[in-house]
């Protein structure tokens, strides 16, 4: 054991900094809180207005339209029913609302950042290590700053989810834009496109498949994180797993856990189906 005299703690400094932040910028955090809570409640409101059977029907129809495959459609509907059978519909809707809320914000922030990275190499150089860090840190770590600034509840849960799940959509936007072939960009430039026109007419549409792939990844990571974020009050399916663990109820834990898997597969199939649909015809 190293001697105690070598220990050098900075915890009190960080606590002081956070205190200072929360005191001096209380208004800002409150506003962020309000925005997130409003968004979250409206998303959940939409899902709760729709009767459960109608939602399952919509999942089936959309699944069919996107994939045109009977097996996929039947699987999606069956998995949705599994959630119903386990009595997990309401918590699943809670989880789904939180996922969608953070994904909406992640897309709103992530695509513009990705575009800026593709347009300006300087921004690319600066942001890339930040993204690397965001993705290498284990999800747990994000709970700390979220709680520090926003306390417990759905808002910090959304924030933690947001931080964890934003990198893919940023990266895929950047990569998608950069991968547009130089021949195509050259011919567009030859016709007198401005930088903005080139982005809007050529690069963004051609990067759409990649961007949607990134959104799919973001959704999946958000789902993973909302489960972890149940520790700070995300509620939903994660809470049921957490409670089951604490009470050593293996069966209940399985039901909740399996519902998460079902939800994950349904969301993944639907969102990757949309991404696939966007692909321009190739030679």
Partner 1 sequence: MVVSNQKHIEVSNFWKIFTHDQEKIDVGSPEEIKRVEKDDSKVIAVRDVSFEVNRTEVFVIMGLSGSGKSTLVRCLLRLVEPTQGKAIMDGTDVTSLDKKELISFRREKIAMVFQHYGLFPHRTVIENAAFGLKIRGESKENRRKKATEVLETVGLAGWEDYYPAELSGGMRQRVGIARALSNDPPILLMDEPTSGLDPLIRRELQEELLHLQEKMEKTTVYITHDLDEALRLGDRLAVMKAGRFVQSGTPKEVLQNPADDYVARFVKDKQEQLKEAEVI
Spatial distance between the Cα atoms of 83 and 141, rounded to a whole number of angstroms: 30
Q: Give the nearest distance from C-beta 186 to partner 1 in angstroms.
A: 6
Q: Give the nearest distance from C-beta 208 to partner 1 in angstroms.
A: 8
* 201 contributes a contact to partner 1 by CB under 8 A: yes
Say how many CA atoms lie within 13 Å of 240 toward its Cβ: 22
Integer angstrom CA distances of residue 82 from 32, 59, 117, 187, 254: 36, 14, 42, 52, 12
Spatial distance between the Cα atoms of 201 and 243, rounded to a whole number of angstroms: 51
Q: Which is nearer to partner 1, 75 or 189 (CB)?
A: 189
Among 6, 10, 70, 190, binds partner 1 (CB under 8 A): 190
* 274 contributes a contact to partner 1 by CB under 8 A: no
Identify which range of 180-188, 215-223, 253-261, 267-275 contacts partner 1 by CB under 8 A.
180-188
Among 46, 184, 250, 261, binds partner 1 (CB under 8 A): 184
* 121 contributes a contact to partner 1 by CB under 8 A: no
In contact, 159 and 233? CB cutoff 8 Å:
no
Identify which range of 121-129, 165-173, 184-192, 249-257 contacts partner 1 by CB under 8 A.
184-192
List contacts with partner 1 (CB under 8 A). Answer: 183-184, 186-194, 197, 201-202, 205-206, 208, 280-283
């Amino acid at each position: 054991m190293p001697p105690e005299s070598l220990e050098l703690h900075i915890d009190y400094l960080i606590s002081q900094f956070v205190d200072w932040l929360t005191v001096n910028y209380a208004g800002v955090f409150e506003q962020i809180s309000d925005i997130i809570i409003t968004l979250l409640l409206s998303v959940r409101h939409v899902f709760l207005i729709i009767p459960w059977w109608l939602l399952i029907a919509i999942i089936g129809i959309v699944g069919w339209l996107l994939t045109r495959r009977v097996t996929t459609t039947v699987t999606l509907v069956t998995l949705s029913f599994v959630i119903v059978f386990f009595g997990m519909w309401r918590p699943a809707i809670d989880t789904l609302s939180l996922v969608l809320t953070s994904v909406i914000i992640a897309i709103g922030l992530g695509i513009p950042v990705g575009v800026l990275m593709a347009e300006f190499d300087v921004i690319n150089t600066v942001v890339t290590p930040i993204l690397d860090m965001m993705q290498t840190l284990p999800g747990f770590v994000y709970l700390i700053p979220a709680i520090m600034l926003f306390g417990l509840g759905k808002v910090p849960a959304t924030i933690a989810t947001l931080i964890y799940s934003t990198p893919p959509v940023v990266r895929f936007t950047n990569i998608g834009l950069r991968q547009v072939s130089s021949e195509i960009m050259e011919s567009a430039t030859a016709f007198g496109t401005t930088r903005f026109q080139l982005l809007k007419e050529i690069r963004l549409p051609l990067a759409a498949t990649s961007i949607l792939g990134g959104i799919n990844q973001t959704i999946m990571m958000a789902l993973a994180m909302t489960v972890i974020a149940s520790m700070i009050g995300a509620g939903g399916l994660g809470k049921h797993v957490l409670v089951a663990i604490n009470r050593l109820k293996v069966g209940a834990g399985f039901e909740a856990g399996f519902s998460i898997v079902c939800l994950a597969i349904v969301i993944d199939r639907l969102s990757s189906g949309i991404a696939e649909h966007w692909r321009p015809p190739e030679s």
